[in-house]
Structure 1
Amino acid sequence: MLTKFADPHVRFRIAASLAALSLVIPAHAEQPTHAAHAMVLSVQHDAADAGVSILKQGGNAVDAAVAVHFSLAVVYPFAGNLGGGGFMLIRDKHGRSHFLDYREKAPAAATRDMYLDAQGNIAPGRSLVGYLASGVPGSVAGMIYAQSHFGKLSLAQDMAPAIKLATDGFVLSAAEATWLQSKNIARFPVSAHIYQRDGNFYKAGETFQQPVLGATLTAIASDPNTFYKGAMAQKIAAFEKEHSGLITAEDLASYEVKDREPIKGRYHGYDVITAPPPSSGGIILVEILNILSTYDLPKLGPDRGTAQVHIITEAFRRAYKDRADYLGDPDFNQLPLKQMASLKYAAAWRSSIDPDKPTPSASLVRPANFMPQPPDSPPHKQPTDTTHFSIVDKDGMAVSSTTTLNGGYGSGVTVEGLGFLLNNEMDDFTSKIGVANVYGLMQSSANSIAPGKRPLSAMTPTIVTTRGHWYRHGKLYLVLGSPGGSTIITTVANDIISVIDNHLDVQTDADAPRFHHQYLPDRLDLEKSFSAEVGDQLKAMGYTTNRNQHADEKSPGTWGDSELIMVDPKTHELLGGHDSRRTYGKAAGY
């Protein structure tokens, strides 16, 4: 349990002028979206509307989630998918929670060193682009499992909006049309033909139709077994074999969804329900919140002020060190989750935080006598393309779901004749000990490649409730999550802190400038919209700071996509905060 109490360690000696700073979040006119009964938030507006249409037909939050997921495979191919995987956190109207793991798996032919060249070095791009980059997709299995176990309508009903969007098409915004010009797609003729009209790029206002994908969705709705054990599985396997990929019909037939026990923690009077391994997100989120649990953050200064950012960053640094050293697929490893979630361990980490200056990652020493020896840890010297949606139905059932192809448009490969992209999830494994993945994350041998193994993830779908007791569950309070690769965990942590500690409304929270530290590299990343004054003060304290993508002024310098739903504790109204960074998404409800 996490309890709030005074801590003599909290003595911040930053100049008094810093304490007087006003709220360091850029002003904006956006207000939370209100709904009396049910709400869906998604990065793409057609997908959000698909979820609401299912809710209005009598479906529950899981039915709506299935509709949103399949619709995102049509309208947001950048990360929405059939050929990827993800996680779904469900809390039913009675307060019972389930965590569905439909993460991709390494094919049976995968080997530990498959991405190394003859000299033992990582072969550039091999785990990211093309036919060898894909794990066995789990998304379709996940949606079928969720719908059959927790939905109220039929799979065909839930998939109908996605089939219509694929067959009839949807109108592209300027941003969406630009996204389709990805060089990753252009490498592969089938992908370039579907998404780029063989170089005649789509323009804003045009309708994008995908009849081949529509036929694939229709076949799945009619026969859910076809993708893994039927004609479609044979077609996927034949395509992989033709191009020297590793996924076989046997890999597809043996895929299974895992219904795992969620990670649970407490923070300042609230219960936090979140993602267990193979997501690293939940346990690292709980560890961060445990370290912060005795601080009265608002007394240190404003949200996103120097004092708060320093303390929160030092919690990030310590928790991400444990992520790097210990985490992997729980079906293949014994993970020290109990030790990582220990309040005594958090207190020991907390005592190492200097209130005046950062602790260099190279000198960070883990508290003794709490954790086992880490497996083959990397030495200390040494992209962000997912999507999240949040749903609450009229009965209070909630879904927080994060899904991915890993990189934007995954491997770039579209399965010929089926019209969907395959993931490049194999890069999330540890290709070589001591060498970072595409997100700069260092990982241990616990996450090394092995047949049938699921790669470690940072996806952190989370639900927060009021404090429950042994005889009753708490009341639903927040449903949240984000894409963003290694930044997902820090985005979710900051969203929780900003709402619970600093009392930001969910829209202001979703739009607030982000900061991130992941232990290695030892660098504090700041979004471009982050206060320059605060950034300078943090640099003066001793941080190495990076104004995100500052070298390219045309870049928006943003990451993540917070999709938050709050249940107003007084009125019980649903309040939605859709991240304004993504102009083509929305909060929808009724």
Structure 2
Amino acid sequence: MQAQSPEPVRARHGMVVSIHHDASDAGLEMLKQGGNAVDAAVAVGFALAVVFPQAGNIGGGGFMLIRDKHGKTHFLDYREKAPAAAWDNMYLDEKGNVIPRMSITGYKASGVPGTVAGLTYAEQHFGKLGLAKVMAPAIRLAEEGFTFSEEEVGTLHSANLAKFPTSHRIYQRDGNFYTPGEVFKQPELAATLRRIVADPTEFYKGKMAQQIADFEAKNGGLITAADLAAYEVKDRKPIEGNYHGYHIITSPPPSSGGIVLLESLGILTGYDLLKLGADRSAAQVNLITEAYRRAFMDRGDYLGDPDFMKMPLKEMANPKYHEAWRKTITVGKPTPSKDLVRPAGFMPPAPTVPPAKESTETTHFSVMDADGMAVANTYTLNFLFGSSVTVDGLGFLLNDEMDDFASKMGVPNGFGLIQGPANAIAPGKRPLSAMTPTIVTTKNHWYRKGKVRFVLGSPGGPTIISTVANNIISILDNHLNVQQAADAPRFHHQYLPDELSVEKKFPLDVVEQLKAMGYTIKRSGEFDEKNPGVWGDSELIAVDPKTGELLGGHDGRRKFGKAAGY
């Protein structure tokens, strides 16, 4: 039986939910000083770069979804870009085989970072307090330090960090590992953050940009001063859809998450899930899994960087297409992925991908202020500690986001995703992402915008999409509160490999029922006693429709985060 979730945190004026308590407090500090949700979000983003180096970053990139108090929306794409020297076969050996881990660890794994550009752009265009105020908590945490918990110090025992001298020195004290209760100070990072406050363009066009470029050149990396100078934030239009009378505002490409989310939910609109069984019942999981299978098939074939290609987003969001997909689902049975045939007459021909034989450090935070402004932000280094490379003298880790491209057509990336030509490596291109920051409102009317009901997102590679969808289904179909939805055991299917992944704590009786239906089940961490077998990190905010209170749900899988409100 699943343990009872605690009640959500309740607040009247503002709410910040993140994976680290110090970062949540940094955002709350901004709200109490009269800042808006963007001020708080930028404070959280920079604070996480200090206290959560596994994924919080200034050396990575991400997406920020903003809905202001008037209902106007912005999607800030500050995703990393491939350096100009990148080429489509850069991770293949002379025989055309993928060189193991080359796109994941080391100097050639990094795309041009976008986080500093994204967070400073957000503050300058939508914030109220200014960079000096919103970055003050991060600088304080870097200079004065923060206290490590047992869970945090465990992640620092990374073999990859030990391969790079600066990373080994900063995060592992040259082998004298940190212990719980110790204070971790980062003076080099504090100095870097102070320089960003003084002139945020220095990271891209000044002395700091040259430092980064010189470091890359010295070590055989590809990022140049010209790459950094050419980086720009894209203010894109979110994609929108409806589900059970609610309006969903979510992530456009280069996120695959939003359209796959809307397609999955669109397929499911034809079912009354709650009538079939309770949340996480075998009957519900069967239909939800089949929706994911079909939407992820389209993801692999059609999605990439919108600046480089046209994608059939309207077709993927077409309710008639969803209905046609629904007709291919047999209730109570899986459709083997190898037998899946896309309904004819809706989509353009899919690019051909050669047949192929058949992990995840991102972080999400959600913010709402007293005026109803909402921010959902997901950003990443990709894998744990990114490339594991720390820039000398600047104290921050670089991403390994190049692995999110297709290193070779038909060969799975680090998350097992099979990707097509649409996501091939090219200079200046942004890799396809699964990050899915999302805001759900009540229904829009011609005379007024809907009101925010939920703010959500998660890390977890491709499981981000299913985690966000599962949260929406748990809340809207099954009437769980945000804390219960955050804590519920997770499941995921991504078309290939053809297996239904479940967390270790997923109910065993349901697992057996799904096996009996014909599913191949992969239980996370099943054969490792010490592995908790979990993924993702739901950081959710809901608005109580009766009282107007903000309800914060922090994922119980991560013990050092919290929902902070006032």
TM bucket, shorter chain? over 0.9
1:379 shift after superposition: 2.6
Q: 1:444-463 to 2 correspondence within 5 Å? A: 444-463=420-439
Where 2:56 maps in the other structure, the secondary structure is: coil
1:378 shift after superposition: 4.2
Q: Aligned partner of 1:464: which letter?
A: V
1:504 shift after superposition: 0.2
1:377 shift after superposition: 2.7
Question: Aligned partners of 2:351, 2:253: CA distance in 1, in Å?
Answer: 16
Q: Aligned partner of 1:351: which letter?
A: K
Q: Which of the numbers 63, 67, 74 marks the counterpart of 1:91?
A: 67
1:259 shift after superposition: 0.3
Contact 1:378 1:442 in 2 (8 A): no
Q: 1:293-442 to 2 correspondence within 5 Å? A: 293-379=269-355, 382-442=358-418
The Cα offsets for residues 388-440 of structure 1, whole Å up to 9 and x where unpaired, read as 00000111100000000000000000000000000000000000001000000
Give the corresponding residue for 1:252: 228
1:277 shift after superposition: 0.2
- Say yes or no: does 1:473 pair with 2:449: yes
Q: Which of the numbers 266, 285, 294 marks the counterpart of 1:290?
A: 266
- Structure 2 unaligned regions, length at least 5: none
Q: Which of the numbers 462, 467, 489 marks the counterpart of 2:465?
A: 489
- Say yes or no: does 1:141 pair with 2:117: yes
Give me the CA root mean square deviation: 0.8
Question: Aligned partners of 1:433, 1:167: CA distance in 2, in Å?
Answer: 45
Q: Aligned partner of 1:300: which letter?
A: L
Q: How many residues align?
A: 566
Where 2:419 maps in the other structure, the secondary structure is: coil
Give the corresponding residue for 2:500: 524
Question: Aligned partners of 1:312, 1:428: CA distance in 2, in Å?
Answer: 25
- Say yes or no: does 1:58 pair with 2:34: yes
1:263 shift after superposition: 0.8
Q: Aligned partner of 1:470: which letter?
A: W
Give the corresponding residue for 1:125: 101
- Say yes or no: does 1:232 pair with 2:219: no
Q: Aligned partner of 1:288: which letter?
A: S
Question: Aligned partners of 1:366, 1:175: CA distance in 2, in Å?
Answer: 45
Give the corresponding residue for 2:254: 278
Question: Aligned partners of 2:307, 2:66: CA distance in 1, in Å?
Answer: 21
Where 1:405 maps in the other structure, the secondary structure is: strand
Of residues 27-36 and 495-504 in structure 1, the stretch that sits farther from structure 2 once superposed is 27-36
Contact 1:166 1:214 in 2 (8 A): yes
Q: Which of the numbers 41, 56, 65 marks the counterpart of 1:80?
A: 56
Q: Aligned partner of 1:273: which letter?
A: I
Give the corresponding residue for 1:5: none
Identity of aligned residues (%): 67
Where 1:142 maps in the other structure, the secondary structure is: helix
The Cα offsets for residues 294-337 of structure 1, whole Å up to 9 and x where unpaired, read as 21100001110010000000000000000111100000011000
1:549 shift after superposition: 1.8
Question: Aligned partners of 1:322, 1:560: CA distance in 2, in Å?
Answer: 23
Question: Aligned partners of 1:277, 1:184: CA distance in 2, in Å?
Answer: 31
Q: Aligned partner of 1:513: which letter?
A: P
The Cα offsets for residues 90-132 of structure 1, whole Å up to 9 and x where unpaired, read as 0000011100000000000000000000000000111000000
- Say yes or no: does 1:27 pair with 2:3: yes
Question: Aligned partners of 2:317, 2:367: CA distance in 1, in Å?
Answer: 28
Question: Aligned partners of 2:497, 2:146: CA distance in 1, in Å?
Answer: 41
Question: Aligned partners of 2:13, 2:123: CA distance in 1, in Å?
Answer: 21
Give the corresponding residue for 1:265: 241
Question: Aligned partners of 1:589, 1:77: CA distance in 2, in Å?
Answer: 24
Q: Aligned partner of 2:338: which letter?
A: A
Where 1:65 maps in the other structure, the secondary structure is: helix
Contact 1:44 1:584 in 2 (8 A): yes
Contact 1:134 1:425 in 2 (8 A): yes
1:361 shift after superposition: 0.3
Contact 1:102 1:256 in 2 (8 A): yes
Question: Aligned partners of 1:369, 1:35: CA distance in 2, in Å?
Answer: 50
The Cα offsets for residues 171-214 of structure 1, whole Å up to 9 and x where unpaired, read as 00011111111112111010010001000000000000000000
Where 2:107 maps in the other structure, the secondary structure is: coil
- Say yes or no: does 1:174 pair with 2:150: yes
1:474 shift after superposition: 0.2
1:356 shift after superposition: 2.3
Give the corresponding residue for 2:195: 219
Where 1:40 maps in the other structure, the secondary structure is: strand
Question: Aligned partners of 2:17, 2:425: CA distance in 1, in Å?
Answer: 35
1:27 shift after superposition: 2.8
Q: Aligned partner of 1:58: which letter?
A: G
- Structure 1 unaligned regions, length at least 5: 1-24
Question: Aligned partners of 1:485, 1:259: CA distance in 2, in Å?
Answer: 23
Question: Aligned partners of 2:5, 2:302: CA distance in 1, in Å?
Answer: 43
Q: Aligned partner of 1:512: which letter?
A: A
Question: Aligned partners of 1:538, 1:70: CA distance in 2, in Å?
Answer: 43
Q: Aligned partner of 1:365: which letter?
A: V
- Say yes or no: does 1:502 pair with 2:478: yes
1:383 shift after superposition: 1.2
Contact 2:356 2:411 in 1 (8 A): no
Question: Aligned partners of 2:119, 2:481: CA distance in 1, in Å?
Answer: 32
Question: Aligned partners of 1:378, 1:150: CA distance in 2, in Å?
Answer: 45
Of residues 259-268 and 377-386 in structure 1, the stretch that sits farther from structure 2 once superposed is 377-386
Question: Aligned partners of 1:48, 1:572: CA distance in 2, in Å?
Answer: 21
Give the corresponding residue for 1:541: 517
TM-score normalised according to structure 2 size: 0.99
Give the corresponding residue for 1:206: 182
Contact 1:86 1:138 in 2 (8 A): yes
Give the corresponding residue for 2:527: 551
